[in-house]
Structure 1
Amino acid sequence: MNLFASFAANNAFWLAWYGLVIRSPSTLSDSPVWCRILNAVLQYVLLTNYTWMLCEGLYLHTVLVSAFVSERRLVRALLVAGWLLPVLPAIIYVSRRAAADEQLCWMDDGPPRLELAVLVCIAVVLNLGFLCNIVRVLCTKLRAGGAAGGAARPSATALHALRATCLLAPLLGLQYLLTPFRPDRTASWWLVYEYISALTISLQGLCVAVLYCFCNGEVLAQLRRRWRVLTFRPRANSTTNTTVSVSRLLER
């Protein structure tokens, strides 16, 4: 829920930025206070995307590896970390840009700001480590299960590991490893970079929603139940179902 909330907030503020600032040359030239505040909030919610992806990776890794950790305390700690970790980099960002008295609503095409890039790099690198360890533990358990039940199947183990990697990569934001450095506009592959970056970033929320929400059995069951309510389809009589089940048991 928090990860999707950060995605929604980030997209909403980007739409506001393009609609209110980018399309208004006079706003860019005047650089009023509200557009600088909008830029600062935009950087904050952008960082929350990375911190919540890091929280997802830490949560999955902890639940899988450390079985005796209190899940309730872990979730509370992650709630604090996911929303408060970006506060300090955002404050440093605002302080540096305000002290330099930069114009154009603090918009620039230069290299990433160090105070923002550090947190992003830490989140992506840690999630890469979490993914590698999760896949390692998964492969170990699959091999142990195959050895206990008979001959182990390396191909099946590798297939499960590949499937887990493909499913977890968009959740943990590892698609950003495809575009770690932005080339100059004069580079020959700058346009290719822009297309790959736009596709991987824009489709992350949709990909995560499809994999972890719309393909989830519990979610699908709730949607079917809601659909039956909206279409006024009566549910099966529980008394009849119980009677039939008891009759079948007696016959056996």
Structure 2
Amino acid sequence: MLKCSISIQIVFGLVVQFVQLNQIERFPCQSNLPYDFRNIDRFTDNMCAQCLWYMAGSEAPWNNFEMVHQWTMSYNYSDTINVMLCQQHDKCNPFTFEHLLDTNHSIVKEFKSTYYLDLLMDCCENARQCCHDMIGKADDPILQSEKHCPTKWDGFMCWDSAKPGTINSRTCPRMTYFPLGLKPTPCRNEMAHKECWTNGTWAMIWKLNVMGNSTRMVQDEWTNYHLCSTPGASHKLRFTRVSIAFYFLSLALTVVGLILLIKYGMKKQPTLSYIHVNFLTSLIISSVLSLCVLFFIKEKHYLLNSMVDKNPVWCRVLVVVQKTAQLTNYCWMLNEGIVLWQMIVLPFRKWAKMKIFLIIGWGFPILVMSGYTFVRFKDTFNNNCWTKSMGYWELIYHLPPTFFIMINVILLMSVVYILFKKLSSSNDDQHMRSSVRASLILVPVFGLQYIFYFVPFDPFESCTTFVFIGKYALLVTEASQGAIVAMIFCFFNKEVIQHNIKSKYKKRNYFRSGTPTNTTEQIGLSRRTNT
């Protein structure tokens, strides 16, 4: 019995020593690769090779993408070789992080610019630093508890140990932006998310794994990098929703203004009123189409549920029709300026026929956008639902509004000069003066966005509060154009709208009460009675 007891103690002691030895020898740095790395250099080389493999899947960084995308990696290759990189089936060489420090190395020479090489170096150095952090926290009993998700390098960035049932967020690493070819500013950075399940493991997803001729579903750890594919998406989504709110408000006011104008404002200066009606109609059409673009294209794109990359026909049609509607706004604003100029500068000459104004307002935009559409059908530009700029070709759409605004400024300056020379204060002159004031207000309202087109700025390239306030002001002004026009020509038009509404209201009260509403009506009534 004594010998048996001693034997059991010896065996138990050996087991404990073996477990302790394994715990001591186990390397603490963990990654998304299923290997137990023995030292920090081996870990760094393998993680750096994985960063290189990610970049090899995109055409942007490489001079010879056809060759690079065929590269294969053998991680944790052998006791003496950390990683084996095969550039071709029969050409395999060991890969180490130090190779990237050699400017004459074949891998370094394949990069188009140092920007992409710096991204790769940054990824490799971050992986090494992550390993340092994991080594430093290896003895922390709380962080290494089975109830916590362990600190881990996921292939792109380092995630600290997390409590169960939590979602952890970090700024997207620079490496995730390499296909876009840009270096994000703090205002463009999005957040990546990684969930720690209640059982103390990082979230997993099922994915298809191809091994030779066979495929099978396997579980793999998952980090949500979706937002990282669209820099600035969060801010742009907020901008889009602000635009939607103001477009709805503007649309409602414009419709009410159009109804009031048709009902009460067509008697005096009918030609000018007819121009107003067409102007408001174009703004209503433009607002409806802009809302469709914001809802079905922009909002979905910034919610990462976009069909823009698929470039469907309906999407392209919607974009080009919306641009055409926006162009009609500027054409009808030009008509407003021409009519006012005719009324004041050439009052006794024969006016241009309404047909001319209709051709300018509705026909010219269709002609311009036909040319724009023709250019868009070129293979270079026929993508992304026609939402990406064509560079200088985009001037086909942007130059006419700018030209119309300049003409309006010249016409209105001429009109203002003549009005101030006149001493008459008749009702007609008062009506014209109010129309001129209205048109003068509309020039900056409609011209502001085109000033920023020729002096372009991206609010996400600058993180100053002033720039973001300017961007919001620009969005609100553009979305509220219809409401501003309706207020000027309808709600604040005392000579036409308010006078007629008050007259209708007084007449209605007169017939309801059976009593005259003013002295003139009383005299007229007494005369009729006497006769």
Range into which the TM-score falls when normalised by the shorter chain? 0.7 to 0.9
CA contact (8 A) 1:63 1:69 kept: no
Partner of 1:83: 362
- Provide Cα deviations, 1:226-246, integer angstroms capped at 9, x if missing partner: 667999961656896523367
Asked if 1:129 corresponds to 2:410, the answer is yes
| Aligned residue type for 2:377 | A
In 1, Cα distance between equivalents of 2:505 and 2:524: 24
Asked if 1:118 corresponds to 2:399, the answer is yes
Q: 2:497 aligns with which of 187, 203, 219?
A: 219
| TM-score, length basis structure 2 | 0.39
Q: 1:45 aligns with which of 315, 325, 335?
A: 325
- Cα 1:235–1:131, aligned 2, differ >3 Å: closer, same or farther? farther
- Provide Cα deviations, 1:208-238, integer angstroms capped at 9, x if missing partner: 2222212334322443466679999616568
For structure 2, list consecutive stretches of 5 or more residues without a partner in the other structure: 1-276, 426-432
Partner of 1:156: none
Asked if 1:184 corresponds to 2:469, the answer is no
In 1, Cα distance between equivalents of 2:508 and 2:291: 33
Partner of 2:347: 67
- Structure number with the higher helix fraction is 1
Asked if 1:98 corresponds to 2:366, the answer is no
CA contact (8 A) 1:170 1:208 kept: no
Partner of 1:27: 307
- Structure number with the higher strand fraction is 2
In the TM superposition, residue 177 of structure 1 has moved relative to its aligned partner by 4.1
- Provide Cα deviations, 1:98-125, integer angstroms capped at 9, x if missing partner: 1135322111267681101121111100
Asked if 1:2 corresponds to 2:2, the answer is no
CA contact (8 A) 1:36 1:106 kept: yes
Asked if 1:168 corresponds to 2:442, the answer is no
CA contact (8 A) 2:337 2:412 kept: yes
| Aligned residue type for 1:86 | P
In 2, Cα distance between equivalents of 1:235 and 1:68: 45
Asked if 1:14 corresponds to 2:293, the answer is no
The SS at the match of 1:243 is helix
| Aligned residue type for 2:383 | Q
- Cα 1:197–1:87, aligned 2, differ >3 Å: closer, same or farther? same
The SS at the match of 2:307 is helix
Greater C-alpha radius of gyration: 2
- Provide Cα deviations, 1:161-214, integer angstroms capped at 9, x if missing partner: x9876532234x333444402313314554233123123223332222222212
In 2, Cα distance between equivalents of 1:232 and 1:99: 67
**Does 35-44 or 106-115 show the bigger shift?**
106-115
The SS at the match of 2:333 is helix
- Cα 1:215–1:164, aligned 2, differ >3 Å: closer, same or farther? closer
Asked if 1:54 corresponds to 2:334, the answer is yes
In the TM superposition, residue 52 of structure 1 has moved relative to its aligned partner by 0.4
CA contact (8 A) 2:311 2:384 kept: yes
- Cα 1:178–1:38, aligned 2, differ >3 Å: closer, same or farther? closer
CA contact (8 A) 2:308 2:384 kept: yes
**Does 82-91 or 212-221 show the bigger shift?**
212-221
- Provide Cα deviations, 1:75-120, integer angstroms capped at 9, x if missing partner: 2311221111111220111111111353221112676811011211
Partner of 1:205: 482
- Cα 1:111–1:197, aligned 2, differ >3 Å: closer, same or farther? farther
In 2, Cα distance between equivalents of 1:246 and 1:65: 46
In 1, Cα distance between equivalents of 2:527 and 2:488: 35
CA contact (8 A) 2:320 2:369 kept: yes
In 1, Cα distance between equivalents of 2:306 and 2:484: 37
| TM-score, length basis structure 1 | 0.77
Between the two structures, name the one with larger relative contact order (CA 8 Å, sep ≥ 6). Answer: 1
| Aligned residue type for 2:458 | D
In 1, Cα distance between equivalents of 2:492 and 2:330: 24
CA contact (8 A) 1:135 1:164 kept: no
- Percent identity over paired residues: 23
In 2, Cα distance between equivalents of 1:52 and 1:98: 28
CA contact (8 A) 1:97 1:106 kept: yes
Q: Cα RMSD (Å) of the superposition?
A: 3.5
- Cα 1:102–1:232, aligned 2, differ >3 Å: closer, same or farther? farther
In the TM superposition, residue 46 of structure 1 has moved relative to its aligned partner by 0.6
In 1, Cα distance between equivalents of 2:506 and 2:440: 35
CA contact (8 A) 2:286 2:326 kept: yes
Q: 1:196 aligns with which of 451, 460, 473?
A: 473
